[in-house]
Amino acid sequence: MSEPRSSESGFPIKGVYTQADLPEDLPDRLGGPGEFPYTRGVYSTMYTSRPWTMRQYAGFGTATESNARYHQLLRAGTMGLSVAFDLPTQMGYDSDDPIAHGEVGKVGVAIDSIEDMRLLFDGIPLDKVSTSMTINAPGSVLLLLYQLVAEEAGVPGAALNGTIQNDILKEYIARGTYIFPPKPSLRLVADTFAYCRAEVPKWNTISISGYHMAEAGATPAQEIAFTLANGVEYVRAALAAGLAVDDFAPRLSFFFVARTTLLEEVAKFRAARRIWARLMRDEFGAKNPKSMMLRFHTQTAGVQLTAQQPEVNLVRVAIQGLGAVLGGTQSLHTNSFDEAIALPTEKAARLALRTQQVLAYETDLTATVDPFAGSYVVEAMTAEIEAAVVELMERVADHGSVVDAIEAGFQKREIEQSAYRMAQEIDSGERVVVGLNRFTVDADEPYEPLRVDPTIEAAQAERLAKLRVERDNAAVERALGELRAAAEGAANVLHPMKEALRSRATVGEVCGTLRQVWGTYRPSDRF
């Protein structure tokens, strides 16, 4: 008999599962749909009353180009927008900053000021769409620009729906687009929680992200453990800032990956809900059921896409999307088949959306809630992942806090070891990747990728020069001075930040002001 296959998280997958593999306390671990501990889903009806929100992640070049893509996606049936920002914006630099040279508009849209944000959402009904913004260190800045543009269109903050990622801790672990040291970064997160509770109450103030850790090589168990540990740290930061748990916890959301290992992914999502519910109730004393519900967005696994035989990615994405739906996601982005080569073409983005629509409207997935409940293999895997996640979270806690573990390099080291093991398995052929190390072809068909106009950087610089001439620079300086004073003290920085942005201060100027007060983070720094 052959050796049992190992899961991505490291536990063996048995050839046959039986009732004997089910946890003895399965009824307590399950509950009902929409009931504690939410293993079967956070809502009682899940997709039987309405499908998940279908998002498509888009943003490239100029705000005008991205706006045109958003209108195309909305016409194609997208229910929510998901904005990608270019690297300078993610790092809080203006497009004309020397450090931004060569990166403007490359991996997302360049946003330098309120004028770019107006162009980005021109003609889009912000009171009717849900917008997710993948932005972290300057997350509060982009949210305020969005709110200002909505107010100009007559849409109050109370009518806005959406999410900012705003998850700075995972940047220190896996991604690297941080600006400030951890302590002021956590303060900025807590300030955003408090501001949105009063000003943008339906906004999800953070999307605590395992996706980027998974893309860096984290196993499913590591993805969940390190993400939930980060979530605990954000809860503690908010409590330390004087917020009550049930005032902010209902607006917390999460962001996970969906891989091709469908059964383990379904089990991973179910285990994550269960662990978070118990943490919020038992450790933090949450009373509001919404504080205990782990609501999450899912994106299919970009790291599993191949440039070789890219059409095969259509199959991968369909399987990954299926896993996310069977796992109970609240919203889903399906990657385009050409993303391993370049920014998606319009046709590829439309096909990715059609994949979700087939799952929602041509299958029977939406006819019943949590169809894998009681499955011998899925319930056993859910328990296995739950145990592995709890053990990893305890190892993080042994360092004192998440930030202490980050400073010790614990999470990064664990992820790098998993990534190395996976790379070795692919190189040896032990892990099959269709079209890459098996079932290859001599030559792929030619493909014409979407190319970003190289003149965008110069055009953005011209727009910035014009802005700085036309605006009231004395008003900008006064507003930035008030932001600096708030950052030096204990006041919520989002209120003066909004006024600075209203006066047409740039993203780089706002982030630069905070850099002057809080400093910048280097991996060797301690605080």
409-460 pLDDT, tens digit each:
999 999 999 999 999 999 999 999 998 999 999 877 776 666 667 789 999 9
Structure tokens, 319 = 């399987």
Are 207 and 297 a contacting pair, CB within 8 Å?
yes
- At what angle are helices 139-152 and 494-502 packed, to 10 degrees? 50
What span, in angstroms and rounded, lies between the C-alpha atoms of 34 and 338?
37
What span, in angstroms and rounded, lies between the C-alpha atoms of 413 and 423?
15
pLDDT for 271 equals 98
What span, in angstroms and rounded, lies between the C-alpha atoms of 80 and 52?
10
Taking CA atoms, 142 is separated from 85, 146, 151, 157, 335, in Å, by 10, 6, 14, 14, 24
Closest CA to 47 of 276, 355, 381, 371: 371
pTM here is 0.91
Where are the alpha helices (H) located in 241-302, listed in sequence order? 245-248, 262-278, 289-292
Which residues lie across from 331 on neighbouring strands? Answer: 53, 297
Closest CA to 520 of 104, 136, 184: 184
What span, in angstroms and rounded, lies between the C-alpha atoms of 199 and 301?
34
- Torsion, CA 93, CA 98, CA 104, CA 108, rounded to 10: -30
Q: Which residues contact 480 (CB under 8 A, 6 or more apart)?
A: 500, 505, 509, 510, 513
Please provide residue 65's backbone torsions phi and psi, each rounded to the nearest 5 degrees. Answer: -65, -45
Q: Which residues contact 312 (CB under 8 A, 6 or more apart)?
A: 306, 434, 435
Q: Which residue has the tokens 């006066």?
A: 503
Q: What is the C-alpha radius of gyration for the chain, rounded to an integer number of angstroms?
A: 23
pLDDT (tens place) for every residue of the chain, 527 residues total = 456 789 999 999 999 999 999 999 999 999 999 999 999 999 999 999 999 999 876 666 789 999 998 998 899 888 788 898 999 999 999 999 999 999 999 889 999 999 999 999 999 999 999 999 999 999 999 999 999 999 999 999 999 999 999 999 999 999 899 999 999 999 999 999 999 999 999 999 999 999 999 999 999 999 999 999 999 999 999 999 999 999 999 999 999 999 999 999 999 999 999 999 999 999 999 999 999 999 999 999 999 999 999 999 999 999 999 999 999 999 999 999 998 887 788 899 899 999 999 999 999 999 999 999 999 999 999 999 999 999 999 999 999 999 999 999 999 999 999 999 999 999 999 999 998 999 999 877 776 666 667 789 999 999 999 999 999 999 999 999 999 999 999 999 999 999 999 999 999 999 999 999 999 998 765 44
